């Protein structure tokens, strides 16, 4: 089945074999119970021991959450999925799972979400994990760093935050496998509609469910989708640590995913046309967008992404803008929401220097190419003319 069909059907219409009657709900209900009972204790024993499928305790499993995990596994072509309380918790669980039986060393892209960099350098490094960074878009440099550092895990983003760089995911997966390293890919910006990292050889595909998949600005959640080799350890870590997503948020995410393909297609279309308009605006110095033929990773983009689907993110630099100039621009916006997220049905604009990359030192941000005038727009599903009209009046 195609991704669009999986989004609508996977994970739903499960009949409880222990319940009376033969009814099947058309969509997965919200199960709020923390404890599940059986007619005989022997069956409970088998369920607790994972000898038989079933539900016993909310930290281990929940029918609503399980439905969502089945859906996400299908969307990402994985072996199993574990949903978590946030995207950052999902990355944390995936890193722990990747490093459990490997050298405690991480080779990470030098272009990552700020909180991911903070997790690596301020949480894992003090615990004894060696962390090194590399230009993930320089395949030769990646190969050399792997040989030198012998990492247990390689961390990258399918499409980097915020400058939309795209590394050779499939080739890096081959290098990782040859070196015995796990490859962890944050696929939030791409979504399974554009790229499915496990199909390209990644071991972990991680998402912030808060963004495109839930899509309505009312859920905080994350997911780790794994290959078969890492499924058991990821599940064990989750059962032990308890970073689980609640049933109501699981339901909202599952409900949001049913329309995610429609939303993302519209957002991609809007973003492409907004990027073209911004490129002609006298107050805009530079536009970063994946459809640009002069994008530094154009060849990789053509190889990995479907034609016409280049994502909803449009970072752009306001010409000669200081922090105060950017604030004035943002304060004039009337339709576009000034928010610290992305992927919602409404257009969102974020200032990386005070939000996604706030914890990164100013000099390091400059080295990363994040200027004081850079803002990150995520196109929503509104009428294109209304989005452009609001940006235009705010830029004047």
Are 86 and 227 in the same domain?
Answer: yes
Residue-by-residue DSSP string for 234-268: HHHHHHHH--BPPHHHHHHHHHHHTTHHHHHHHHH
Are 294 and 391 in the same domain?
Answer: yes
344 included as an active-site residue: no
The CATH number of residue 370's host domain is 3.90.1150.10
113 included as an active-site residue: yes
How high is the pLDDT of residue 20?
61
Are 87 and 153 in the same domain?
Answer: yes
Residue 50 is assigned to a structural domain of this protein: no
Residue 55 is assigned to a structural domain of this protein: no
Options 6, 145, 165, 211, the catalytic residue: 211
286 included as an active-site residue: no
Residue 97 is assigned to a structural domain of this protein: yes
**What residues form DSSP beta bridges with 314?**
377
Alpha carbons 320 and 329: distance in angstroms, whole number: 13
**The total number of residues written for the chain in this structure:** 396
Are 251 and 283 in the same domain?
Answer: no
Alpha carbons 151 and 103: distance in angstroms, whole number: 7
Pick from 206, 227, 257: which residue ends a domain?
257
DSSP label of 213? T
How high is the pLDDT of residue 366?
75
In three-state secondary structure terms, 394 is: helix
Are 19 and 168 in the same domain?
Answer: yes
Residue 39 is assigned to a structural domain of this protein: no
Residue 40 is assigned to a structural domain of this protein: no
Pick from 257, 284, 299: which residue ends a domain?
257
Are 181 and 321 in the same domain?
Answer: no
Cβ atoms of 137 and 296 closer than 8 Å: yes
**Which own/partner pairs from 59-62 qualify as long-range (CB within 8 Å, at least 24 positions apart)?**
59/239, 59/242, 59/244, 60/239, 62/31, 62/244, 62/247, 62/250
Are 253 and 266 in the same domain?
Answer: no
Residue 68 is assigned to a structural domain of this protein: yes
Are 381 and 269 in the same domain?
Answer: yes
Q: Mean pLDDT per 10-residue run, the chain (396 residues)?
A: 94 73 83 92 92 92 96 98 98 98 97 94 97 97 98 98 96 98 98 98 98 97 98 96 97 98 98 98 98 96 96 97 96 96 97 83 79 95 98 97
Pick from 194, 228, 257: which residue ends a domain?
257
How high is the pLDDT of residue 93?
98
Options 113, 251, 310, 351, the catalytic residue: 113
Options 50, 59, 283, 332, the catalytic residue: 59
Of the candidates 217, 153, 219, 215, the one whose C-alpha atom is nearest the C-alpha of residue 186 is: 153
Are 19 and 129 in the same domain?
Answer: yes
Cα 370 to Cα 126, 148, 184, 361, 395, distances in angstroms: 27, 28, 24, 11, 20
Residue 37 is assigned to a structural domain of this protein: no
The CATH number of residue 66's host domain is 3.40.640.10
How high is the pLDDT of residue 360?
77
211 included as an active-site residue: yes
Tell me the residue range of the domain where 299 lies. Answer: 260-395
Torsion, Cα 347 352 356 359, to 10 degrees, reads -160
Residue 167 is assigned to a structural domain of this protein: yes
**Residue 156 φ then ψ, to 5°:** -150, 170
Options 61, 110, 186, 249, the catalytic residue: 186
Total tally of structural domains belonging to the chain: 2
């Amino acid at each position: 089945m195609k991704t669009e069909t999986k989004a609508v059907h996977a994970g739903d219409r499960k009949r409880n074999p222990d319940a009376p009657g033969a009814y099947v709900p058309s969509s997965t209900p919200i199960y709020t119970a923390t404890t599940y009972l059986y007619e005989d204790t022997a069956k409970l024993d088998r369920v607790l021991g994972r000898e038989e499928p079933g539900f016993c305790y909310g930290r281990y499993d929940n029918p609503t959450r399980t439905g969502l995990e089945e859906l996400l596994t299908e969307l990402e072509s994985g072996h199993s999925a574990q949903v978590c309380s946030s995207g950052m918790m999902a990355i944390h669980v995936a890193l722990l799972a990747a490093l459990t039986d490997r050298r405690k060393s991480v080779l990470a892209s030098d272009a990552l979400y700020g909180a991911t960099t903070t997790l690596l350098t301020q949480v894992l490094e003090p615990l004894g994990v060696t962390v090194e960074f590399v230009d993930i878009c320089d395949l030769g440099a990646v190969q050399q760093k792997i040989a030198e550092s012998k990492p247990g895990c390689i961390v990258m983003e399918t499409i980097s935050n915020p400058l939309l760089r795209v590394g050779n995911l499939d080739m890096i997966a081959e290098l990782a496998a040859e070196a015995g390293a796990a490859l962890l890919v944050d696929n939030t910006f791409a979504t399974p509609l554009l790229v499915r990292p496990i199909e390209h050889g990644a071991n972990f595909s991680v998402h912030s469910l808060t963004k495109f998949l839930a899509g309505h600005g009312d859920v905080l959640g994350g997911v780790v989708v794994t290959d078969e080799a890492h499924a058991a350890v990821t599940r064990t870590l989750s059962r032990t640590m308890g970073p689980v997503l609640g049933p109501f948020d699981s339901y909202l995410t599952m409900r949001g995913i049913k329309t995610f393909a429609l939303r993302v297609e519209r957002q991609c279309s809007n973003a492409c046309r907004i990027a073209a308009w911004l490129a002609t605006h006298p107050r805009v110095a530079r536009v970063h967008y994946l459809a640009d033929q002069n994008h530094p990773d154009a060849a990789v983009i053509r190889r990995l992404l479907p034609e016409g689907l280049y994502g909803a993110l449009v970072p752009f630099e306001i010409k000669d803008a200081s922090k105060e100039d950017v604030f004035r621009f943002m304060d004039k916006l009337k339709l576009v929401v000034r928010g610290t997220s992305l992927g919602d049905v409404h257009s969102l604009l974020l200032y990386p220097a005070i939000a996604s990359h706030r914890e990164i030192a100013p000099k390091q941000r400059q080295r990363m190419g994040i200027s004081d005038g850079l803002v990150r727009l995520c196109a929503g599903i509104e009428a294109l003319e209304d989005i452009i009209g609001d940006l235009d009046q705010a830029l004047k």
